Every structure is written in C-alpha cells, then in structure tokens.
Amino acid sequence: MPLLVMKFGGTSVANLDRIRRAAKRIGVEVAKGYDVIVIVSAMSGKTNELVGWVNETSPLFDAREYDAVVSSGENVTAGLMALTLQEMDVPARSWQGWQVPLLTTSAHSQARIEDIPTQNLNQKFGEGMKVAVVAGFQGISPEGRITTLGRGGSDTTAVAFAAAFGAERCDIYTDVDGVYTTDPRICEKARKLDKISFEEMLELASLGAKVLQTRSVELAMRYKVKLRVLSSFEEQTDEAGTLVVDEEDIMESNIVAGVAYSRDEAKMTVVSVADRPGIASIIFTALSDEGVNVDMIVQNISDEGRTDMTFSCPTDQVARAEKALLAIKDAGGLNYAELVADTDVCKVSVVGIGMRSQSGVAAKMFKVLSDEGINIKVITTSEIKISVLVDRKYMELAVQALHDAFELDKAA
C-alpha cells in the first residue's frame, strides 16, 4: 500500500470540531487507497500550560520530569483522533512514542531520534489498520524514560516517520497555508512561496521561523523526504501549500528569500575578564555543561588586559547561564567584575542562497535599520544569512522594513 504521513499542529487539533475536520481530511486520503500515519501535536496552548506548571514548581527543573509532564498533551490528542476516525468507520489506532517505539537519545527536553523500528506499525497495517495516529514530540530513551524532541518537535516526528516508512509524502498541516517570505502574522505584505529550498528553510527555521522545526528540515534533506506545508483550514488540492525542495528545483529566486525573527533571545555580558588564552574555553565549557544553548558570541576590544565577553542565549536559559557563570567566578582566574543580562532583545535575520554570489546585502540591511533609528547590538553572518540582535520593541518594525527594502512581496 502507498503510505502518507500527515501531521496536524496544535491549532489544527485545538478542539473536537477541529479534530473532526482533520479526521475528514485523513479520510479523504484513506479513500484514495493510502495507509496513513498521522502525527498529532497537543491542543494549542496545552504544551505552554504544561511548561508553565513545571517552571512554577521547579525553576531549574530535572529535565526527565519536565519530559514526563510536557509530553502528556500529545497523548490526549492521539487518543481523541483515533476515536474520531473510528466513529467515521476508519480503522485507526493510537500510539504513544514508547509503544512504536520511537527511540531517542537521553538528552531530555531536546532528545534526538535514533531509530524508528517499523515492525509494530507494519504488523497492524497488515491486519487492516488504515491509520496509525502517533503522538508527536515524544520518544523513549535507552534508559526507558519518556523524552521530548524540543519545542515544535512534532514536525520532526512526522519527517522521521516519513523517512522510516518510505512515505510518498509528508504533509505538515498548520494554521497558515504554507511557508511565507516572513511570518504573515507580523508582516501583512508577506508572500506565500510555492517552493523553498531545503538550505533556506533550514536557516529560516533555525533563526526562528517556527513553521517547521529545524531538525525536521535537516532530516527531510538527508533522507530526501518530499515535504509540504499546508493549511488544515482550507480545502486542499494536490498543488496546495509550499514544497520544500532541492536548490536546483528552483528556477528563479530573490537574493533574499525571507526574513526571520526570534523573540526569545537574551544578551549576556561577562564584564571585565582577563584577556588571555583559555578564558573563552572556561566560560563556554561551563555554559555547555549546564545545557545552555549559546548562539551569538562577541568579544570586545581589550582594554589594559581586560575584556568583555558577550553572548546570546534563549531567554528561558538565563537562570541556568547565571548559575553556570557564578559557579566559575573565581575559577582559573576568571574573576569577572559583573554579569549583565539584557532580556529585552530579539534577533532579526535575512536569509537567501543568492547571498553566496551577491555582495552588499549586509550593507543594505544595516542601512535600512539605521534609517529606522534601530541600534544593532550584535551581528553574526554565515554564507547565506545575516543576523542582528536589536531591542525587542523594534522587532516588527525591523522585519517589515527589511521585507520592504528587499522587495520580498514581489516574486523574482
């Protein structure tokens, strides 16, 4: 039997009506002759609520228990979706991560998928099951404990299943009708793309465009999964949505493909550390040991043998970063003067494979921000992206101004 993977995000399963609507969509594919693996998220808002409860109970929580709590939202929607399909006379069964089993590393709250044995599900498909509804976002560690795959991880569950089962396509149903040049919620001129390259999608996702989790794009690229993003709220044709494709399958593209932003950034400065070999290593080893995801790093110009080290990390990791840096204050002669956290910043980035061959994008980006009176706090670049850290109050303005300046509302 040909097989499809269909993933429904939080807003697409937010209540029983929406679950019924998604189930009808699944029924259409079953009627066409497909076996279907459905991946569901928790109802929208549920995971945030669960994370909030964990933080309130224990700010520097044990990640094993975090996973035990936050994985639970998906269990509810998986069961409800299977029941809804059964009510429509579609043979369906729900599966939690451990039952599949979806095997992961033990990196709790950010686990990576190691393997998905296909035997259990295939046996049930062989016995007449038409739809396997799998709880997204969760797996099981080698120690036998529940793990989660990081926020937005159901996308990765979906692509991993598509790869493991050789699915014809992996359709990601969400609350927008595809991938846009930037988040349509903060820029009304955002334009839907019919196709986007894996490379650009990977950068946009890793820089904050949460329409797909970064790891899902990496997996789709590596295992050549046909990946599509589309709306669960509209009637769909086979051409709907946005296809994520190889670079060579895109004929014409703008120099800049899209603008991404990440609201939850913090800038931390270790003020006045000795400027000598080994200092960066002490600081960033301590942060890494505490599980802090450091993103941008800047070392200021040295003044009389002392320097400031600035880095960015997600806002919700500031407490962990402070803990790690306080613990090494006197270690190895680090002896910094103070630790300053600025939690009122955001990251705005422009992405495009055209930047490989065209210069001047950075200059134009900085000019646009300066014309709007936006001060840049930190800059990083790579071959196909430029990111800046700016005050959070300028986030929408920066995204809209860049979208206008690079004329992203017009196709190439």
Comparing CA positions, the residue from 34, 102, 92, 31 lying closest to residue 71 is: 102
Smallest distance from ligand ADP to CB 273, Å: 37
Closest CA to 71 of 101, 108, 103: 108
Min. distance of Cβ 191 from ligand ADP in angstroms? 10
The nearer residue to ligand ASP, 10 or 352, going by C-beta atoms, is: 10
For the segment 33-92, give every residue that binds ligand ASP (CB under 6 A): 41-42, 47, 73
Among the candidate windows 3-11, 135-143, 165-173, 248-256, which touches Mg ion by CB under 5 A?
A: 3-11
Q: Which of 183, 200, 295, 308 binds ligand ADP (CB under 6 A)?
A: 183
Kindly state whether residue 175 participates in binding ligand ADP, applying the rule CB under 6 A: yes
Which is closer to ligand ASP, CB of 138 or CB of 182? 138
The contact mask relative to ligand ASP for 126-145 (x = CB under 6 A, - = no) is: ----------xx--------
Q: How far apart are CA 116 and CA 164, in angstroms?
A: 6
Residue 11 vs 94, nearer CB to ligand ADP: 11
73 or 258, CB closer to ligand ADP? 258
Which residue(s) pair with 349 in the sheet?
260, 387
Q: Is 152 in the site for Mg ion (CB under 5 A)?
A: yes
Binding partner of residue 310 among Mg ion, ligand ADP, ligand ASP, none, CB under 5 to 8 Å per kind? none
**Interface with ligand ADP includes 96 (CB under 6 A)?**
no
Cβ–Cβ under 8 Å, residues 103 and 147 = no
DSSP states of 81-121 as a string?
HHHHHHHTT--EEEE-GGGTT-EE-S-TTS--EEE---HHH
Beta strands in 127-182 (DSSP E): 131-135, 138-140, 146-148, 169-174
Binding site per annotation, positions for substrate: 47, 74
Which residues make up each annotated binding site? 7-10, 47, 74, 174-175, 180, 185, 210-211
| The entry of ligand ADP, Mg ion, ligand ASP, none that residue 180 binds, CB within 5 to 8 Å by partner kind | ligand ADP
Nearest to 285 by CA among 334, 243, 236: 334
324 token code pair: 């790690």
Among 31, 45, 168, 185, binds ligand ADP (CB under 6 A): 185
Q: Beta 35-40 vs 3-8: how paired, if at all?
A: parallel
Among 152, 178, 241, 352, binds ligand ASP (CB under 6 A): 152
Q: Which is nearer to ligand ADP, 69 or 186 (CB)?
A: 186
The contacts found for 393-397 with CB under 8 angstroms, 24 or more apart, are 393/344, 394/346, 395/186, 395/261, 395/263, 395/346, 395/348, 396/186, 396/187, 397/372
153 binds ligand ASP (CB under 6 A): yes
Considering beta carbons, is residue 148 or 254 the nearer one to ligand ASP?
A: 148
Distances (CA, A) of 248 to 253, 259, 290: 11, 22, 41
Kindly state the smallest distance separating residue 158's Cβ from ligand ADP, in Å: 10
Nearer to ligand ASP, 175 or 342 (CB): 175
CB 113 within 8 A of CB 222: no
Based on the shown chain and the rule CB under 6 A, indicate whether residue 178 belongs to the binding site for ligand ASP: no
Q: Which of 4, 5, 9, 310 binds ligand ADP (CB under 6 A)?
A: 9
For ligand ADP, the closer of residues 336 and 406 by Cβ is 406
Residue whose CB is less far from ligand ADP, 182 or 254: 182
**SS3 breakdown of the chain: % helix, strand, coil, rounded to 5?**
40, 25, 35
The distance of closest approach from Cβ of residue 149 to ligand ADP in the complex, given in angstroms and rounded to an integer, is 13
Q: What is the Rg, in whole angstroms, of the alpha carbon atoms belonging to the chain?
A: 23
Interatomic CA distance for residues 84 and 66, integer angstroms:
29
Q: Does 174 bind ligand ADP (CB under 6 A)?
A: yes
In the 3-class helix/strand/coil scheme, how is 30-79 assigned residue by residue?
Answer: HHCCCEEEEEECCCCCHHHHHHHHHHHHCCCCCHHHHHHHHCHHHHHHHH
Q: What is the dihedral of CA 269, 318, 106, 280, to 10 degrees?
A: 10
Q: Is 197 in the site for ligand ADP (CB under 6 A)?
A: no
Site residues for ligand ADP per CB under 6 A = 9-12, 41, 152, 174-176, 179-180, 182-183, 185, 204, 209-211, 258
Site residues for ligand ASP per CB under 6 A = 9-10, 41-42, 47, 73, 136-137, 151-155
